[in-house]
Structure 1
Amino acid sequence: MRSRLLTRLDAAIAKARNPVEVACLKAERACFLARQGQMAQARLLVDALHTQFAWRPHAAVSAWLSLAEGLHDYYTRLGGSARDRVMRAHALSGAAHLAPLRALSAAWLAHMDMASHDMARMVQHVREALQGAQPDHHSARSRACLVVAYAYHFAGDENRALPWYARSRFHATADGDEAHLSALMHNQASLRGTQARLAAMFGEASPEATRQALLSSESITRFDAGIGTAALVSLVPMMQAQLLTHDQRWAEALALFELHFDTAMADGLERMKPCFLADRAWCRLQLGEPKPALADAEAAEASLRQPCDLDDRALAQARLAQVKEKLGQAREAALLRERARSDLQAHRSEQERLVALLDEALAEIAPASA
């Protein structure tokens, strides 16, 4: 299925006569291709534009190319260099008084701020994007609204998140941006899956919530296949592996972990490595493989020394406590449970602060303007 956004961009490129306008549209096309996972095509387009404007740089083209390169880096490996390039696009568009691109860059910076848990900067960039984008600037608004939805959802308040998901979906649909609709589905399913896993490990397990999250992940797989998305292909199968672990479908989960673990690391998912290894250890243990299970558990503990989100740390340590208990290491299990509960408490406090931060930042923005 060919994207309506891509069709519209191609038509605009064919119609444009000004070389700078054509170049900016082509850079926007490269942004879309990167988000869809068509990295080689995006790179070729960016390289051709760099060559074309090497001897006569133009501020608008340079700004759009910075954004395109940032998204290429981000969707290749969630790399830190992506943010630097998007910051350059943000700065260049501001200096050149390119308000639409400035708002779009701010929305993408908010997205990256959220991914790195820099909540203070995230709300600043969200507010800038929503206040700077015109009502029909769908690409900036769809991204900014998605960040707000994801942030509220991550903070445990899905009721506040749902209207923002709806606004994001409205703008993406108006823009014909199927790649964004895919991202929206990914975010919702991922957070619902995390909530189901947290409930299973620390509260009252809900097999129905786990199954619903699995169904959502299957819908994403079908949708992505239909629109030709090939970006960060390990995200969905690794999410499915974690959910299958909680659904006690050990063999299916282990098969997905083994098939996609290396790709997930290459895709930039190192922050989730403790969770992946801990769940894989539990699957191996349930399937009668104690030695490989112990090796995975030790690797998971070692990886906890690296940066890891609080909710993922809590989940990994809670799972490792189960593994240690089953292996007869009661003292180690008790220590891991204590650490898991402490991390969960810190995560809950972080959620409360995030809701307050979002409410304050968005108070001046009328819902209709989003």
Structure 2
Amino acid sequence: MPSPFEQRILDKLGTERDPEARALLRVELACYWARVGEEHSAEQERQALRHEFANARSPRVSILVMVLEALQAYYGRLDPAARDRLLRANLLSKSFNALDLIALTSAWLAHVDLNQARFDSAVRELHTAIQALAQLSDGVESVRCRIALTLGDANLIVGRVQASQEWYESARLDAIAINDHAGVGAMTYNRAALRVARARFEDVAGLDSGIDRTLLRIDVDTAVNYQSAARLKSLEHLLATTRASQLVYQHKYSDALPVIEALLGTPAVTSRSAQRRLLQADLALALASVGKTAEANRALLQFVTPEADDLPIPSDDAAVMARSAALAFALTGAPDEAQVWHERANRACHDHSLVCESLGSQLQEFRPMRPGQSA
């Protein structure tokens, strides 16, 4: 059964006869499918649109197909190539001075850049998206929702908990207004994941921004339940990673172990990613904490491979995984290695504090948008 968002587009397709207008509706629908994890449907539509508009007779369709391809890459496998497609779509949008497409592509670029720890770039794209949005009056809810969601995430990353709540509420209202279950799902997941991540970082750094840590399990449960009720598939492995992180943070190592082991055995967790590195460190800590010393040592050997140091790891993740490794080494009777990783955790905490100071000052320029406002 189609979701309300899908049904709205299908109803329009039932009456629309113009080929280009129909194509624009079809690509909007395919973008939704990419966001909710309906990969086969999204890919079928992408191929059909590429075939029908191969001669670039509609710049708008071509640009939005690039956005679709970016979302497929991002939601399907967190592929860094998603950013390249968005950049190209953004440049083409600017060349045609298509304000709605500039707002859309810049909002998505900001979202991807934030998640790749390209914070200065994310802020620039947010400004671009908001400036373009201010000149529009119709159909702004989807872009405004994406901007608000990204700013909710950004504020939570730096520990501005109250500000993040205001932005998430703005995103929620716009998502509900257009029946965008994927948007609400992203908000519930991001809020849960980033609250757990921030709580773990603050535990390492000795900080407290006011996150109610007793409610973290409820945050994760809410996200999991919403994804299930709305039949959203694209965030499943990320939700499981958040669950594992929450369990490790709350020292429920026996419960965390099967979740971590299952995740490390799935191709969704790619071999060269911060997600895998954090899971490997947490696996070693969980094994050591339940007395499985030999298995913990094997997990640590996998974690400390030399090539792993070449990976770009966000500073908060680096602090958390270094602390897990340090504790695991200490529990397995390797105090010298434990000290090395404690020092790495401290350096990462310092680096992330500088990031938070810089990004936090830039975020103060933004004020939450409410339905009825264009920016």
Q: Give TM-score, length-normalised by structure 2.
A: 0.91
Deviations 1:295-349 (A, max 9, x none): 2122222334422111111111111111111222212212211221111011011
Equivalent residue, structure 1, for 2:17: 17
Which deviations, in whole Å up to 9, do the C-alpha atoms of 1:231-287 show, x marking residues without a partner? 132111111112112222222100101112233654688113222111111111122
What does the per-residue CA deviation read over 1:103-148, in whole Å, with 9 as the maximum and x for residues that have no partner? 1111001111111111221111111112212355011110011111
> Going by fraction, where is helix more abundant, 1 or 2?
1
> Shift of the alpha carbon at 1:154?
0.5
Residues 274, 304 of structure 1: 8 Å contact kept = no
Amino acid at match of 2:240: P
| Cα displacement (A) at 1:228 | 1.2
CA distance in 2, matches of 1:268, 1:113: 21
Where does residue 121 of structure 2 map in the other structure?
121
2:179 corresponds in structure 1 to: 176
Structure 2 residue identity aligned to 1:214: R
SS in 1 for 2:266: helix
SS state at 1:263 partner: coil
1:294 counterpart residue number: 297
Distance in structure 2 (CA, Å) of the matches to 1:31 and 1:72: 8
Are 1:320 and 2:325 matched, yes or no? yes
Gaps of 5+ in 2: none
Distance 2:62 2:121 in 1: 24
Q: One-letter code of the match for 2:319?
A: A
Q: Match of 2:88, as an amino acid? A: R
Residue type of the alignment partner of 1:233: E
Q: Which residue pairs with 2:356 in the alignment?
A: 351
Conserved 8 A contact 1:234-1:267: no
Q: CA 1:268 to 1:228, structure 2 compared with 1: closer, same or farther past 3 Å?
A: farther
Q: Name 1:187's counterpart in structure 2.
A: 190
- Is 1:332 the counterpart of 2:326? The answer is no
Pick which of 149-158 and 2-11 moved more. 2-11
**1:121 partner letter:** S
Specify the code of the residue in structure 1 equivalent to 2:321.
Answer: A
Query: CA separation in 1, counterparts of 2:184 and 2:72?
Result: 18
State the Cα deviation string for residues 35-54 of structure 1 (Å, max 9, x = none): 00001100000101111122
Q: Distance in 2 between matches of 1:121 and 1:140?
A: 18
Corresponding residue for residue 34 of structure 2 = 34
Q: Does 1:196 align with 2:215?
A: no
Structure 1 window deviating more from structure 2 (132-141 vs 21-30): it is 132-141
Contact 1:35 1:71 (8 Å CA) reproduced: yes
In structure 2, distance between residues paired with 1:192 and 1:285: 26
Q: How far, CA to CA, are the matches of 1:269 and 1:222 in structure 2?
A: 29
C-alpha change, 1:237 and 1:5, in structure 2 (3 Å) is same
Residues 248-287 of structure 1 aligned to structure 2 (within 5 Å): 248-263=251-266, 265-266=268-269, 270-287=273-290
- 8 Å CA contact 2:316–2:348 kept in 1: the answer is yes
Q: 1:36–1:230: 8 Å Cα contact kept in structure 2?
A: yes
Fraction of identical pairs, as percent: 27
Partner residue of 1:151?
154
Matched, 1:94 2:97: no
> RMSD value over aligned CA atoms?
2.2
CA 1:93–1:305 in structure 2 vs 1: closer, same or farther (change >3 Å)? Answer: closer
Match of residue 168 from structure 2: 165
SS of the equivalent of 2:364 reads helix
Larger mean CA deviation between 266-275 and 291-300 belongs to: 266-275
CA distance in 2, matches of 1:2, 1:233: 20
Alpha carbons 1:234, 1:264 under 8 Å: kept: no
Q: Which residue does 1:75 correspond to in 2? A: 75
Give the distance between the partners of 1:186 and 1:65, measured in 2 at CA. 26
Tell me the residue number matched to 2:241. Answer: 238
Q: Does 1:306 align with 2:308?
A: no
Structure 1: which 5+ runs fail to align? none
Q: Which amino acid aligns with 1:322?
A: L
CA contact (8 A) 1:79 1:268 kept: no
Cα distance in 1 between the residues matched to 2:7 and 2:272: 32
* Compared CA separation, residues 109 and 261, structure 1 to 2 (3 A): same
- Matched letter for residue 117 of structure 2: H
Query: What CA distance in whole angstroms lies between the structure 2 residues aligned with 1:87 and 1:231?
Result: 23
Task: Output the CA distance in 1 between the equivalents of 2:79 and 2:27.
Answer: 20
Aligned partner letter, 2:155: Y
Matched AA of 2:32: F
Give the alignment partner of residue 222 of structure 2, picking from 216, 219, 222.
219
Q: Which residue identity lines up with residue 179 of structure 1 in the other structure?
A: A
More divergent stretch after superposition (177-186 vs 212-221): 212-221
Distance 1:343 1:235 in 2: 23
